[in-house]
Amino acid sequence: MAVTELPAGGEIAFEMPPDTAAIKPPRVTPTRVFSNLTLVFFGVLFLAPLIWLLFSAVDSQASQTLEWPHLTFSNFTRAASAANIAAMKNSALISVIATAVATIPATLGGYAFSRHHIPLKGPLLLGILMLAGVPMSILIVPIYQVFAGHNWLALIPASVFLGVTSLPFELWIVKNFIDAVPVDLEESARLERAGTWQILTRIVVPLALPGIGAAAIFGFINAWGNFLVPLVLIVDPTQQPSPVAMYGFFGGNVIRWGEIAAYSIMYSVPVLILYLALGRLFRGGFVLSGAIRG
């Protein structure tokens, strides 16, 4: 037992602990072991289809069995055939149109819902958010009927419809984001006699860009991955996007798994990149430094 000595003589009445190094919590506890094991267990369970995709894409003798690949890139070169690339271009076109159709009205409407006084705003917002939960499959029959009657069973009308299905949720995202932007900047702009359009383009949109970007990415990913709408609403095979093209590979007598896997990966890469961008947007937020005094 160490006893400290006071310079002025005499000893203090209590005893110091034997060693005063920091007490670290044990590294290996039952909870941590269990947690890691649980993660590994589920990880392995979830892994199979993903690994199969990766392996088959580079396997010259790809099949359904999960086996070590005979490495080759020929699947990718064959998957990048003219027809498949055309399908991906259609996918891109559909997604861009749908995103524009969804995001621009969502931004304008979200700003109005956030900043302006609108009669019945509460019920209106509730109604719009409820629309976001309505599945697309129920709209497909009446829309088909209407579009067929006007000879609109083609890529552009289908893209517009696809955009509208993302519109409710995008409006909600933008509105919530603009809610979080302080009103002071707009108020001072009003005092400087700025018109609504000027306020929108010069102040609100640049500040709300992360939220608008998140909404746009959401809409794009929805449109890129959508299968039912192009299946029903586009009759011309040359205008079909990638999901429908991939479904076509399924029907053949001999399913070339390697090619399908390679094409799937090529088709999924944009979505993965966009989700990474989305994560960065949410974590980044926005900076107002200096714009608001006090």
Partner 1 sequence: MSISDSLQAAPVSAVAGAAESPSGPRLDRARFSWASIPLLLPAIGLLIALFVGPVIYSFYLGFTNLELIGPTSQHYSLTGLTNLTRLIHDAVFQKSLYLTAFFVLGSAVIGATLVGLILAMAMQNALGAARAIVGGMVIVCFVLPPVVVALAWYAAATSHGAYTALFADPKGDFLAAAPMIVVSAANAWNLTGLAMILFAAALRNIPGEILESARMENASAVQRFFRITLPLLRPTLVTTILLMTLLALANFTVVYIMTAGGPGTSTMILPVYSYQQAFQFDNLGYGALVGDAMVILATVLSFVYVRLSRGRGDR
Q: Name which of residues 11 to 40 contact partner 1 (CB under 8 A).
A: 31-32, 34-36, 38-40
Cβ neighbours of residue 235 closer than 8 Å, sequence gap 6 or more: 153, 154
Residue 135 in contact with residue 183, Cβ under 8 Å? no
**Nearest to 170, CA basis, from 118, 79, 227, 108:** 108
At 208, list the tokens: 């709300």
At 20, list the tokens: 């005063």
Q: How far is the CB of 32 from partner 1 (least distance, A)?
A: 5
Handedness of CA 211, 212, 217, 220 (dihedral sign): positive
- Residue 218 contacts partner 1 per CB under 8 A: no
- Residue 180 contacts partner 1 per CB under 8 A: no
Q: How far is the CB of 73 from partner 1 (least distance, A)?
A: 20
Q: How many residues bind partner 1 (CB under 8 A)?
A: 86
**For the chain, percent helix, then strand, then coil, each to nearest 5?**
70, 0, 30
- Residue 232 contacts partner 1 per CB under 8 A: yes
Q: How far is the CB of 249 from partner 1 (least distance, A)?
A: 9
How far does CA 163 lie from the centroid of its chain?
15
Q: How far is the CB of 290 from partner 1 (least distance, A)?
A: 28
DSSP string, 54-119: HHHHTBTT--SS-----B-SHHHHHHT-HHHHHHHHHHHHHHHHHHHHHHHHHHHHHHHHHHS--T
Site string for partner 1, 92-131 (x = CB under 8 A): ---------x--xxx-xx-xxx--xxxx------x-xxxx
- Identified binder of partner 1 from the candidate list 152, 228, 256, 286, rule CB under 8 A: 228
In the range 135-154, which residues lie near partner 1 by CB under 8 A? 135-146
- Residue 165 contacts partner 1 per CB under 8 A: yes
In the range 258-277, which residues lie near partner 1 by CB under 8 A? 260-261, 264, 267-268, 271-272, 275
- Residue 4 contacts partner 1 per CB under 8 A: no
- Residue 227 contacts partner 1 per CB under 8 A: yes
Largest CA distance in the chain: 105
Site string for partner 1, 44-83 (x = CB under 8 A): --xxxxxxxx--x------xxxx-----------------
- Residue 194 contacts partner 1 per CB under 8 A: no
| Cβ closest to partner 1, residue 5 vs residue 42 | 42
- Residue 156 contacts partner 1 per CB under 8 A: no
Q: How far is the CB of 140 from partner 1 (least distance, A)?
A: 7
At 67, list the tokens: 């086996």
Round to whole Å and give the CA distance between 134 and 216: 20
| Cβ closest to partner 1, residue 2 vs residue 40 | 40
